[in-house]
Amino acid sequence: MEFKNPYSLSRNYTELHALLVEGYEIPCFVDYSYLDNKERVYRDICRVRRRAEFQISFSARGIGYGDISSWHKENGKREIDCFVDLCKMLNVEFIEV
């Protein structure tokens, strides 16, 4: 079944990151697949939140879809760049604010 929704969705990852920095937790849609079948892509709703600098996670019901951690900081990357890359990888969309 194809994913359908009545919302206006955004891929403005800079805006999404700014909302997280302000302390918001945002519901968003992400793509994922299972290891045994990477060809089949599923869509799920999850929450993205930022606990502190370089501590951002996408998760729902105990499932982690992706995160940014201190490992990224230690490798000399900026948080916003890591965040945008992860959002692109997960095909993140969120309801326009």
User: Does 2 fall in a domain?
Assistant: no
Q: Are 4 and 91 in contact (CB under 8 A)?
A: no
User: Does 31 fall in a domain?
Assistant: yes
Strand positions, DSSP E, 15-84: 26-34, 37-52, 55-60, 63-68
User: Does 32 fall in a domain?
Assistant: yes
How confident is the model over 2-59, as pLDDT tens digits? 667 788 999 999 999 999 999 999 999 999 887 777 788 888 999 999 999 999 999 9
Model pTM score: 0.87
Range of the domain at 82: 9-95
Number of domains composing the chain: 1
